[in-house]
Amino acid sequence: MIHFRLLAVSLFAIVLAGTAACRTPAVAPDLTRFEFERPQMGVPFRITFYAETAARADAAAAAAFARVAALNASLSDYEEDSEITRLSKTAGSGRAVPVAADLWNVLAAAQKLSARSAGAFDVTVRPLVQVWRRARRQREMPSLDRLAAARDVTGYQHLELDARHHTATLKLPGMQLDLGGIAKGYAADEALKTLRAHGITRALVAVAGDMTAGDAPPGKAGWRVEVPSLDVPGAPPAQFVLLANAALSTSGDLFQRLELGGKRYSHIIDPRSGRPVTDHSLVTLIARDCTTADSLATAVSVLGPEAGLALVRRTRGAEARVHSQPEEKFHTVETAGFRRFLEAP
């Protein structure tokens, strides 16, 4: 049932072919590059790494995908029977619901960021996400009543976590959780951990715009990752980042958006207004782990360049760049260390 798309490129062959790897004597000649891709969490999940044998590679990849499938079954609000969906159904019951380790880790990280971002990042945003998804399907603005009803049941301060007992309480009836802004990053981190547990250290895990890297490929400074640019006139071309033992996430309305009355609405909601972000922007966020990169990128999309970068500067090990075009004018800001990660031109 499991079909891996396997691409194995013998590094030894590359050395013989006289490419860059040839000039790096540190390269172990018996390491082979493997690439596996499978749909997971509604997107292609790609794992690339170097291993000694195909058997070891297959075993490590199978374990990583199994880990991600298990996380999807727990964290996806698209699954009727996931742990997160079942938790949402307890909203307003007054019950403190015990949550398993992964869901706990994700909820705890999310709530911490909600507090740090003054509510810009908020996993209780699902009722609003649903209202705007419906608007996108129907191509019409939601009614004010519908919006007000969704706003009434949104707010991270109504999600109570008990760190001693690992329980969660959704205090308002109708509250619903959506981990779409953080779960892919967590899954990428966990996939990388699984590979490491299998002795694979030179690895890259990429889930759509979220990726995390272990050690660099043999003889290289990092994994070469393309960072898209904004699709507007005057925007610079896409660039490449070299990533090793770090994570990178992009967030913005480049791929998912609603256009109504000449206005462009992101799939990211500003929980404070109940409305989608409309600053046409693209956030590239680099952090020590992908849980942080993914969630922080979403938070910066909501906060905008100025407040967003201020939050990034307060996050140890994080760097970011924000391309935006709020009013026809293209604009870029970045933290001081962002360029360190760019491939030299």
Instruction: Summarize as ranges the residues that interact with ligand AMP (CB under 6 A).
Output: 121-123, 125, 129, 178, 180-181, 251, 267-269, 271, 294, 297-298, 301-302
Measured between alpha carbons, how far is 60 from 51 in angstroms, rounded to an integer?
9
Concatenated DSSP letters of 177-215: ---TTTHHHHHHHHHHHHHHHTT--SEEEEETTEEEE-S
Pick one of 119, 142, 155, 181: the residue that binds Mg ion (CB under 5 A): 181
Least separation in angstroms between CB 188 and ligand AMP: 11
Measured between alpha carbons, how far is 50 from 133 in angstroms, rounded to an integer?
40
Name the residue nearer to Mg ion (CB basis): 176 or 251: 251
Least separation in angstroms between CB 110 and ligand AMP: 7
Name the residue nearer to ligand AMP (CB basis): 15 or 123: 123
Least separation in angstroms between CB 29 and Mg ion: 39
Name the residue nearer to ligand AMP (CB basis): 113 or 213: 113
Measured N-to-C along each axis, helices 126-138 and 144-152 cross at an angle, to the nearest 10 degrees, of 160
Measured between alpha carbons, how far is 308 from 249 in angstroms, rounded to an integer?
14
Pick one of 297, 311, 318, 320: the residue that binds Mg ion (CB under 5 A): 297
Residue nearest to ligand AMP (CB): 180
The answer to whether the beta carbons of residues 32 and 8 sit under 8 Å apart is yes
The answer to whether the beta carbons of residues 264 and 230 sit under 8 Å apart is no
294 binds Mg ion (CB under 5 A): yes
The answer to whether the beta carbons of residues 60 and 32 sit under 8 Å apart is no
Handedness of CA 265, 269, 272, 275 (dihedral sign): positive
Q: What is the largest CA-CA distance in the chain?
A: 68
Name the residue nearer to ligand AMP (CB basis): 130 or 201: 130
Pick one of 194, 212, 298, 335: the residue that binds Mg ion (CB under 5 A): 298
Pick one of 48, 154, 251, 324: the residue that binds Mg ion (CB under 5 A): 251
Name the residue nearer to ligand AMP (CB basis): 219 or 271: 271
178 binds Mg ion (CB under 5 A): no
Which residues of this protein are in contact with Mg ion, per CB under 5 A? Answer: 181, 251, 294, 297-298
